[in-house]
Amino acid sequence: MSEAVLKKDVAKHKILRCVDWIQKQNSEEPTKLSLQNKNDIQFIIQTNAARKNFLLAAAEDEATVPTGVDETPSIEPKAVSLHKLRVEDLNLECEWQSCKSFFDNYLKYQDHVRKHSSDAHVIEIETGVQYVCLWDTCGHKTADFNEMIRHMNYHAYHGKLLAIGFNGRATLKLARCKKDSTKRNQVPIQYSDYCCMWVGCEEKYNSMQMFLDHVKLHTNYSETYLCSWAGCGAVFPKKVMLVVHVRSHTGERLIACYHCGQHFANNRKLCDHLRRQNVNPNSPFACELCGIRCATEYLLSEHTRQHVSTVACALCDLTATSPAALAHHVRYRHLAGEHARPHACPHCVYKAVTKWDLRKHILTHNKKKKRNQDLSDKDTDDDNSDLESKPKKQKSVKKYACHMCEKNTKVFSRGTRLTTHLVKVHGAQWSFGHSRFRYQLCEDGMYRLTTTRFESLEVSTIVDGFTGPTKLLSNYEFKLKQIAEPTKNTPRGFEITLKNPKEEEDSSMDAEDEDKKVEITMCDVDDKGNIISSEVIKSEFVYT
């Protein structure tokens, strides 16, 4: 049997196995939906068990995808008092592949998790080896073993937050999270050790929890409640306020959502996270601008902020709701030149502003390759007709209506499609000062275009005096140089200077300066006109 035929049979076998798995999942969908109404732990265990059985059946595939955790006994969350929520009745679960260990002591739990770093899956690459984390739904890869140790220590820290959030739901009487749980254990990448930047301290740790315990010693012995983190120098009237402030430097989190894995700095943020997903349809807290209902009055006030512009762009008429939104606008609309798009695509001439844009762009190349490969396989193999038995995706509800169609109103399933329709069919343009088309929920349940913009009084005064759009000067590059070290009360000092200005401008400036400079000779003469002494004076000739 030839190698090409063998590869074709293997590919066909993979496709048939995927089709069988999809049909099985569809048949079990009612059961999964019923499980969602129960505890989080049961829903996640059922999902992980199905994923593990599917991956174990794929024996010929390379085991770089993390498998699911085996089924474990059902664990009920415990309602613990708030002041003991982070220390009592914690079920610390090790979610390493085929490990069912539970702990109630964090130090023992962290030591156990750290030992799994030596069990990481090893893949041979051209430059050496690569380690793959087999923690459930993680799959992190790295060639640095020290980074893998830091990664495993962070899994232990994150597992503690998950255990706190698991009991926190029962304590705070909150509904279950409705987000996807497939990325609940994907933790941030730990590029280097955790370094304490308290002035006079240079301690480093490879464990997040040990690093936080060390920083707490500094805050406990601060008599004047002064934050001595390099470049800060903030002073607080109470110790509690200092402790909360230091979390902004260390990145400490106190609780996590057990279902989706997102961690938060306090209990209030977890409550808001869950309440946003479980809003009562008859809630009295409805937004007067867009009609969206919120769970609480606080969430309604936070939502209303998104409608009011508080900052104005100095280069055009646009107003934004936050400084971050304004920075995003300037980065994409006004900055020009190669330095504004530093991320080049390896497959074409496209250059992106951010790494995220580059990753999204590279996916378009992968989709084209996959589409061409599928077409070639379809032409060469007629047996792929079995794929037609795949269940079709349900069409999304159309709820974006065009207000400019006179006879037959066009309705679309997405706002982007309605935007394309308004531009190409009706020739509509963005309103002056708006960054995009915005749609508002109407009484009939449809979203329609709105041109209303809400601004604060200060921003409205600035925009009224706007004279016209301008462009940033992109001919100059800037050089950043540190000139002062941080102290207890002052941050680092930097000096910004021009780097590599255009030679043409320099030459033109020099030429103009040379034209303006003149030489004047002052001479002393006697009665007969003989020169006794002379003096040359350089000056500038001024035109009037």
Residue 274 near residue 264 (C-beta atoms within 8 A): no
Residue 289 near residue 307 (C-beta atoms within 8 A): yes
Residue 103 near residue 109 (C-beta atoms within 8 A): yes
Q: What is the pLDDT of residue 542?
A: 42
| Beta carbons within 8 Å of 437's beta carbon, 6+ residues apart | 415, 418, 419, 422, 428, 430, 449
Q: What is the pLDDT of residue 435?
A: 64
Among 167, 120, 134, CA closest to 48: 134
Q: What is the pLDDT of residue 44?
A: 52
Q: For the segment 120-162, what is each residue's pLDDT rounded down to a tens digit?
A: 888 888 888 889 999 988 889 999 999 999 999 999 999 999 9
Q: For the segment 207-257, what is each residue's pLDDT rounded down to a tens digit?
A: 999 999 999 999 988 888 898 888 888 889 989 999 999 999 999 999 999
Q: What is the pLDDT of residue 256?
A: 93
Q: At residue 160, what is the residue type?
A: K
Q: For the segment 410-467, what is each residue's pLDDT rounded down to a tens digit?
A: 888 888 888 888 888 888 876 655 667 878 777 777 888 876 666 665 555 544 544 4
Among 16, 19, 45, 46, CA closest to 30: 46
Q: For the segment 23-53, what is each residue's pLDDT rounded down to a tens digit?
A: 666 665 555 444 444 455 555 555 555 554 5
DSSP string computed for 385-422: GGGGGSPPPPPPPP-EE-SS-SSS--EESSHHHHHHHH
Report the DSSP beta bridge partners of residue 480.
496
pLDDT category of residue 339 using cuts at 50, 70 and 90: confident
Q: How far is 180 from 262, CA to CA, in rounded Å?
A: 11
Q: For the segment 292-330, what is each residue's pLDDT rounded down to a tens digit?
A: 889 889 998 888 888 888 888 877 777 888 888 888 888
Q: How far is 436 from 419, CA to CA, in rounded Å?
A: 9
Q: What is the pLDDT of residue 521?
A: 54
* Threshold 0.85, pTM exceeds: no
Residue 253 near residue 262 (C-beta atoms within 8 A): no
* Helix, strand, coil fractions of the chain, as percent rounded to 5: 40, 15, 40
| Beta carbons within 8 Å of 80's beta carbon, 6+ residues apart | 88, 89, 167, 170, 171
Tokens of 496: 């910004």
Residue 215 near residue 198 (C-beta atoms within 8 A): yes
- Please identify which residue in the block is written with the tokens 């080049």: 344
Q: What is the pLDDT of residue 340?
A: 80
Residue 517, CB-side half-sphere exposure with 13 Å CA sphere: 9
Residue 520 near residue 536 (C-beta atoms within 8 A): yes
Q: What is the pLDDT of residue 215?
A: 93
H helices of 282-390, in order, are 297-304, 323-333, 355-380
